[in-house]
Structure 1
């Protein structure tokens, strides 16, 4: 059976939604292009053992819209998109699958660039790149930027210090109890930085071996995944999957600062109001976790390391601006950030319309 691309009806506000299937290669995937107003859509590929095709579709739609926000706020001259592959990354990977996925990406003609996300490694993306020019986050090549995870972690860490200063009056993290939820590439790198800064780490991961490794490496306390919101902590750093902040979990949260790498941390926007009422400062995830896409953007634009360094600094400055505006106007930080994105996109559309 040959590679099939099935155009689906994209929801209002989205540009394109495509279901991809190659039975011989074992590939089932979605690609969603949310917006190309600011430039070609860029966003990673996630491989996850979704319970259903509908669940995968819902995830790619949410993630693609988040990438539009993330790329706009980081000032990258890029639009937002995302891809997801249905399958278990521990057992379902193959060269045939990734090459078929690469051929599908090539068919978009540069309107969408893919890269690593949850379940996908630079080695996987190198296979994808055998079939397309629009795979980035590579280890090799003229403008290769490698695994974006360390840059994501660095951006989160810099923003966390800005948040700590706003909440506790100092960026000094010595003795601060920080719970890192999820010890994948980004979570582990963030935990390393926090440990070096003197934080008292509490960690959790569905992979018990990762938590035990952090216990040995960082002297971290370990808590079970279902006990996260029962811990007495100063800072919560969600670095696993999204939707962990709900009305119920926020009611149990002791932290005064939330800053982590996970996408879509708020199950719904109204949860931000709960955090504000509890005097817990939430730093919008799509702003703080932009380090990885900044690294990838340097590859897309054929820019050097200075490009990445400058924009990592800009993330922290943007967070400082969001926090100050939030406090001045009494708005949630996510509302402030979303309003900034709306303004950025409106200006980009105006420029595009004038050039048309």
Structure 2
């Protein structure tokens, strides 16, 4: 590493671009971690941060994760991430800001390919696409690759959770497996429905309490406060909200022996992967288990394959997890370190 520019999560990124547009009020960041394997692909999120430094840090971490995710999913794509800053909690992104972000994306000449992420939607991505060709996750015809990545991500996470339960708990199926599930949005809600259909014993939590309660009623499962879900008495903890929830303080409170979920950047620091490992907790690295969405929109952008091809690739997510777990068992290294090492080798770093 030449320099971290005062940001510990700077990982020799190829570029970190800061954008502002006076007319629309847009403030945005596009971080390009690597384009060695192809265009730097990764969604754009609309979010309120405590300050600009926190927003840049998030973009750095997420873009690096996208490099690793795309490599581990065998996609000819690099890693990037976009962040549109909300000026206050609960703010709504405007059409003018989406258009300005589209122009910002276009200005990078195809080095970055954007798609839907937290706070965005297919309709919002259509507005972005009015200003740039370098966008994916748009509505597609039946049977085509692409569209809303949420359900496809949920499918991959669900398959990864089942593989993790088999590996870490010896569970031949999910019947009776106690799962504490954090976050019931597009991905977490989809995972919850699939696990409930398999007979898992779910406990749900979300910062949006009403959303969690509504899904709990629908599925006939329990709900707890968001502050209590991580330490809930469960066999498997599935984080599907925002990241950095596995910390030096929170890991000792875990009762689950397996962590497998769709949230990005679940580990607050690199050392937390070692802490999980030392605690005897089997970990499914987030950028491996949650690759379904980028497989979906990546193949859409590349024009490769259809819905069947997407699902065939998503079905291979447990195989990549098994590779990580086998290597971890062989070397004694944490699963997070093993996954990073494999991804870096694929990227050539």
User: Which TM-score bucket, shorter chain as reference?
Assistant: over 0.9
Listed as ranges, the matches of 1:118-129 within 5 Å are 118-129=118-129
Equivalent residue number for residue 341 of structure 1 = 343
Tell me, what secondary structure is at the counterpart of 2:46?
strand
Mapped contact 2:11–2:33 kept (Cα < 8 A): no
Task: Give me the whole-angstrom Cα distance separating, in 2, the residues matched to 1:141 and 1:18.
Answer: 34
Asked if residue 311 in structure 1 is aligned to residue 328 in structure 2, the reply is no
Asked if residue 95 in structure 1 is aligned to residue 79 in structure 2, the reply is no
Equivalent residue number for residue 241 of structure 2 = 240
Q: CA deviation at 1:215?
A: 1.8
Task: Give me the whole-angstrom Cα distance separating, in 2, the residues matched to 1:89 and 1:123.
Answer: 21
Tell me, what secondary structure is at the counterpart of 2:117?
coil
Equivalent residue number for residue 117 of structure 2 = 117
For each residue in 1:136-183, what CA deviation from the matched residue of structure 2 results, as whole angstroms up to 9, or x when unmatched? 100147966110001111111111111111122233111111111011
Mapped contact 1:275–1:281 kept (Cα < 8 A): yes
Listed as ranges, the matches of 1:1-356 within 5 Å are 11=10, 13-87=12-86, 90-140=90-140, 145-303=146-304, 304-346=306-348
CA RMSD of aligned residues (A): 1.8
Tell me, what secondary structure is at the counterpart of 1:230?
coil
Segments of structure 2 that go 5 or more residues without pairing to the other structure are none
Task: Give me the whole-angstrom Cα distance separating, in 2, the residues matched to 1:186 and 1:229.
Answer: 18
Task: Give me the whole-angstrom Cα distance separating, in 1, the residues matched to 2:213 and 2:181.
Answer: 13
Task: Give me the whole-angstrom Cα distance separating, in 1, the residues matched to 2:202 and 2:33.
Answer: 37
TM-score, normalised via structure 1 length: 0.92
Segments of structure 1 that go 5 or more residues without pairing to the other structure are 1-7, 350-356
TM-score, normalised via structure 2 length: 0.93
Mapped contact 1:204–1:223 kept (Cα < 8 A): yes
